[in-house]
Structure 1
Amino acid sequence: MTKQEQIKLGKILWAIADELRGSMNADDFRDYMLSFLFLRYLSDNYEDAARSELGADWPELPADDRRSPLAVWYEQNPEDIEEFEKVMRRKVHYVIRPQYLWSSIAELARTQSDKLLSTLEHGFKHIENESFSSNFQGLFSEINLTSEKLGKNYKQRNERLCVIIQKIAEGLAEFPSERDLLGDAYEYLIGQFASGNGTEASEFYT
């Protein structure tokens, strides 16, 4: 990943933020953008570790199958899930169930699912509560998914989040899943939003 590509990604994400935040102030919208970026980072890191751990048992899916390979493994191996998650908690210090991975969330957004908002709410709590020694407690505390700034009711908030997440997913799609890349994009947005907050998440990139 070249410096030019890193700058391009940062500008794409900033353009998305500038286009979609609407009447929401920059500080509030920053929290949504950065939280979703960090969820993408955590998910990519977790799936890489899961693929390594499962080895030959990692499902290989056809290109038109939009399910997470980990979701397929969970379906096929329900009796092994508990032990697998114990291993993952020891190795990467957190657990993300397949339905809460970024790829699954992005697919809900793409299909405009009315379950997106509730899935995000449960997913953020799951990641915070299932981390080793509670390392991620309060990690997503800055993002308010029930805020009226997203919409006056569940339906409006869900629809707004579908648009935001789909745009972010499309913006990230042409770039590889690299730790440094997402870290640079995160720092770029921090700078653009001209805020000193978001420290909790940025610490994981250093």
Structure 2
Amino acid sequence: MSTTLEDITSKLWAMANELRGNMDASEYKNYILAFMFYRYLSEHQMEYLEKNDVLDIRDGQTIDEAYAEQAVGEDMSDYLEDISAYLGYAIEPQDTWASLIGKIDGNRIVPSDYQAIFDDFEKYASLNKEAARDFRGVFSDVNLGDSRLGANTNDRAKSLNRIVKLIDGVEFRDEHGRDVLGGIYEYLIGMFAANAGKKGGEFYTPHEVSQVLARLVTNGVSADDGTFSVYDPACGSGSLLLTVQDELPGGERPGIVKFFGQELNTTGLRTFSWRLNERILCSVKRSVVVPWSCISPLI
């Protein structure tokens, strides 16, 4: 089966468009992007646990199974504190992406599980005082009670299950084994913006417009000029800021660009944070999400 970025994104968009029903694209994106972000955070945590030998994994045992087996009782708080200290957030065993998929496949999911997952995430993210503000309200745009998801709580849970299974079925690597998650996210943002009409402009600047502006602000800059700072007072999903980095001579060097932005919409901030991390450009002290000193809410 072909797994080019184009194949992956077109299939994902077709399925997402079919699932959203009568929901506006600018609203449905909150569910798709939020669960993609949650999957990313969960799998990133599992990679941390495995690569750092935090768990004793038996032959034939998955990292998620080992985590669920060992992070129990009083030991669980120790694991969560360790994870939060390193990543800035922590997800307990029953809330991992693999656990969520297992509940759905085993018909063990209950409507309250989704709210519990997001509540637990925010609670455990507060263990790291330095990073607590980074994650506060990061999933607040996800309206789990929206009647367009279903007439009652059970129907809404089924709709959320379908979204989660859609995200779980996405292959984040192409046929050559390259990570294409950033490309998938970029594609979805553009498609949601195009289908949202005027509302799309709230979170996405067309790439062509971003390129023109980026070339203007980087005109005359040389690769030897040192650190370059760029600020967008309404940064949305960060398309313009990231394009400045693309156009900047020597901009591919880690830490050469300092991003500053403000945004009222937390979905936009979540998106920008993720995209920055995918590029590994903003110096974040042992954290997966860019600190609010770089990106802050518009208050």
TM-score w.r.t. length of structure 1 = 0.83
CA distance in 2, matches of 1:164, 1:182: 17
TM-score w.r.t. length of structure 2 = 0.59
Say if 2:5 is the partner of 1:6. yes
Paired residue type of 2:115: E
Q: How does 1:158-197 map to 2 (within 5 A)?
A: 158-172=157-171, 180-194=179-193, 195=200, 196=203
Say if 2:71 is the partner of 1:74. yes
3-state SS, counterpart of residue 135 of structure 2: coil
Corresponding residue for residue 262 of structure 2: none
Corresponding residue for residue 16 of structure 1: 15
Q: CA deviation at 1:6?
A: 2.5
Q: CA deviation at 1:180?
A: 4.9
CA distance in 1, matches of 2:61, 2:83: 26
Q: Which has the larger radius of gyration?
A: 2
Structure with the higher helix share, 1 or 2: 1
Q: 1:112 to 1:27 in 2, by over 3 A?
A: farther
Q: CA deviation at 1:81?
A: 2.1
Corresponding residue for residue 47 of structure 1: 46
3-state SS, counterpart of residue 49 of structure 2: helix
CA distance in 2, matches of 1:113, 1:82: 25
Q: 1:27 to 1:5 in 2, by over 3 A?
A: same
Corresponding residue for residue 127 of structure 1: 121
Matched residue pairs, number? 198
Q: 1:16 to 1:60 in 2, by over 3 A?
A: farther
Structure with the higher strand share, 1 or 2: 2
Paired residue type of 1:72: E
CA distance in 1, matches of 2:35, 2:178: 15
Corresponding residue for residue 107 of structure 1: 102
Structure 1 unpaired stretches of 5+? none
Paired residue type of 1:86: E
CA distance in 2, matches of 1:11, 1:105: 25
CA distance in 2, matches of 1:106, 1:28: 24
Q: CA deviation at 1:169?
A: 1.5
Corresponding residue for residue 92 of structure 1: 87
Q: CA deviation at 1:87?
A: 1.4
Say if 2:44 is the partner of 1:29. no
Contact 2:173 2:179 in 1 (8 A): no
CA distance in 2, matches of 1:166, 1:31: 16
CA distance in 2, matches of 1:179, 1:99: 30
Larger mean CA deviation between 52-61 and 34-43 belongs to: 52-61
Contact 2:173 2:181 in 1 (8 A): no
Contact 2:46 2:64 in 1 (8 A): no
Between the aligned residues of both structures, percent identity stands at: 28
Q: CA deviation at 1:85?
A: 1.7
3-state SS, counterpart of residue 144 of structure 2: coil
Q: 1:69 to 1:5 in 2, by over 3 A?
A: farther
Corresponding residue for residue 136 of structure 1: 135
3-state SS, counterpart of residue 147 of structure 2: coil
Alignment RMSD, CA only? 2.8
Contact 1:20 1:164 in 2 (8 A): yes
Contact 1:6 1:184 in 2 (8 A): yes
Structure 2 unpaired stretches of 5+? 194-199, 204-235, 237-266, 277-299
Q: CA deviation at 1:190?
A: 0.6
CA distance in 2, matches of 1:150, 1:174: 30
Corresponding residue for residue 201 of structure 1: 270
Q: CA deviation at 1:199?
A: 1.7
Q: CA deviation at 1:60?
A: 4.5
